[in-house]
Amino acid sequence: MNRRWLCAAVALAGPWVADPVLAAGNAWLEAGRAAARETRAQQDVPGPARNVILFLGDGMGITTVTAARILEGQRRGESGEENVLAFESFPYTAFSKVYSTDSQTPESAGTMTAIVTGAKTSSAVLSVDETVRRGDFEAAAGHALATILEQAEQHGLATGIVTTATVTHATPGATYAHSPDRDWENDARLSDAARAAGFPDIARQLLEFPHGDGIEVVLGGGRASFRPAGAVDPEYPAQKGARLDGRDLSEEWTKRRPRSAYVWSREQLDAIDPAATDHLLGLFEVSYMQFETDRPRDSAGEPSLSQMTAKAIDLLARAPHGFFLMVEAGRIDHGHHAGNAYRALGETIELSNAVRVALAKTDPKQTLVVVTADHGHVFTFGGYAKRGNDILGKVVQAKENEGGGPAGPARDATGLPYTTLGYLNGPGYTGASAEQAEGPKHFPHRGAGYRAATKGRPDLGAVDTTAQSYLQEATVPLPSETHSGEDVPVYATGPGAELFRGVREQNYLYHAMVEALGWNAAPSQPAR
Element (H, E) at 11: helix 3-13
Q: Is residue 21 part of a domain?
A: no
Over 50: is that where the pLDDT of 446 sits? no
Over 90: is that where the pLDDT of 355 sits? yes
Compute the distance between CA of residue 190 and CA of residue 177 in angstroms, rounded to an integer.
14
Compute the distance between CA of residue 133 and CA of residue 142 in angstroms, rounded to an integer.
13
- CB proximity list for 437: less than 8 A, separation 6 or greater: 444, 447, 448, 449, 450
**Same domain, yes or no: 490 and 453:** no
For residue 128, what are the β-bridge partners? 144
- CB proximity list for 237: less than 8 A, separation 6 or greater: none
pLDDT number for residue 454: 60
Q: Is residue 358 part of a domain?
A: yes
pLDDT tens digits along 167-197: 999 999 999 999 999 999 999 999 999 999 9
Q: Is residue 166 part of a domain?
A: yes
Domain with residue 149: its CATH number is 3.40.720.10
Is the pTM higher than 0.75?
yes
pLDDT band at 398 (very low <50, low <70, confident <90, very high): confident
Tell me what the mean pLDDT of segment 385-393 comes to: 97
**Same domain, yes or no: 393 and 325:** no
Angle between helices 341-361 and 62-75 in degrees, nearest 10: 80
**Hey, what's the torsion of the CAs at 472, 478, 482, 486, to 10 degrees?**
-80
**Same domain, yes or no: 168 and 113:** yes
Compute the distance between CA of residue 320 and CA of residue 323 in angstroms, rounded to an integer.
9
CA distance readout (Å), 406 to 328, 336, 387, 394? 43, 32, 15, 15
Please state, rounded to an integer, the average pLDDT across all residues of the chain.
90
**Same domain, yes or no: 114 and 244:** yes
pLDDT band at 49 (very low <50, low <70, confident <90, very high): very high
pLDDT tens digits along 489-513: 999 999 999 999 999 999 999 999 9
Nearest CA among 276, 144, 120, 275 for reference residue 210? 144
More confident residue, 242 or 402: 242
**Same domain, yes or no: 326 and 461:** no
Over 50: is that where the pLDDT of 11 sits? no
Among the ranges given (312-321, 389-398, 453-462), the one the predictor scored with the smallest mean pLDDT = 453-462
Q: Is residue 352 part of a domain?
A: yes
Catalytic residue IDs: 108
pLDDT number for residue 10: 38
Q: Is residue 16 part of a domain?
A: no
pLDDT band at 403 (very low <50, low <70, confident <90, very high): low
Tell me what the mean pLDDT of segment 437-442 comes to: 38
Kind of pairing between the strands at 367-372 and 488-493: antiparallel
**Same domain, yes or no: 261 and 201:** yes
Q: Put residue 298 in one of left, alpha, beta given phi > 0 → left and psi -120 to 50 → alpha.
A: beta
Over 50: is that where the pLDDT of 426 sits? yes
**Same domain, yes or no: 106 and 233:** yes
pLDDT number for residue 320: 97
Nearest CA among 199, 186, 190 for reference residue 248? 186
More confident residue, 2 or 311: 311
pLDDT number for residue 294: 96
More confident residue, 168 or 38: 168
Number of domains present in the structure of the chain? 2
Return the CA Rg of the chain. Answer: 25
pLDDT number for residue 4: 47
**Same domain, yes or no: 370 and 391:** no
Tell me what the mean pLDDT of segment 318-327 comes to: 98
Q: What is the DSSP string of 32-59?
A: HHHHHHHHHH--PPPS--SEEEEEEETT
Compute the distance between CA of residue 78 and CA of residue 76 in angstroms, rounded to an integer.
6
CA distance readout (Å), 319 to 145, 169, 207, 448? 26, 27, 21, 44
For residue 279, what are the β-bridge partners? 260
| Angle 362-363-364 from CA coordinates, rounded to 5° | 110
**Same domain, yes or no: 373 and 493:** yes
Cα dihedral sign for 136, 139, 143, 145?
A: positive
**Same domain, yes or no: 218 and 305:** yes
For residue 505, what are the β-bridge partners? 97
Compute the distance between CA of residue 479 and CA of residue 458 in angstroms, rounded to an integer.
18
More confident residue, 521 or 378: 378
**Domain extent at residue 397:** 383-481
Q: Is residue 9 part of a domain?
A: no
Nearest CA among 88, 254, 288, 82 for reference residue 185? 288
pLDDT band at 527 (very low <50, low <70, confident <90, very high): very low
Q: What is the DSSP string of 319-372?
A: -TT-EEEEEEETHHHHHHHTT-HHHHHHHHHHHHHHHHHHHHHS-TTTEEEEEE
Percentage of the chain lying above the pLDDT 90 cut: 80
**Same domain, yes or no: 352 and 401:** no
